[in-house]
Amino acid sequence: IVLTQSPGTLSLSPGERATLSCRASQNVGSTYLGWYQQKPGQAPRLLIYGASSRASGIPDRFSGSGSGTDFSLTISRLEPEDFAVYYCQQYDNSLWTFGQGTKVEIK
């Protein structure tokens, strides 16, 4: 499968709402749809698994939704530490695929 994330870059101000999209090239369900955050020089961090479950320690301003081929990650109110690159991940046919990433930058 191919995961296409949009937009490529999102320019927003702290306190604003961010909505990131991840579209799959075919329907593979939501059981293993994940979202990760990566900051420069750091390893990725799991935010959301199973499309909508928050990982341990993740603030409730992060939420995931979607099913089928269309998924989204919403950050309700951007905090300064949320400016980073976000990747979606999906599993199909014994292989994992990541989207190309969405950069959330300070406007």
Partner 1 sequence: EVLLVESGGGLVKTGGSLRLSCAASGFTLSSYSMNWVRQAPGKGLEWVSKISPSGTFLYYADSVKGRFTISRDNAKNSLYLQMSSLRAEDTGMYYCARVLTKMATIGNFDYWGQGTLVTVSS
Q: Nearest distance from residue 13's CB to partner 1, in Å?
A: 25
13 touches 51 (CB < 8 A): no
**CB of 77 within 8 A of CB of 12?**
no
Site for partner 1 in 46-85 (CB under 8 A): 46, 49-50, 55-56
Token digits of residue 1: 């499968």
Q: What angle do CA 53, 55, 56 make, to 5 degrees?
A: 135
Q: Which of 18, 82, 99, 104 touches partner 1 by CB under 8 A? A: 99
Residues that bind partner 1 (CB under 8 A): 32, 34, 36, 38, 42-46, 49-50, 55-56, 87, 89, 91, 94-101
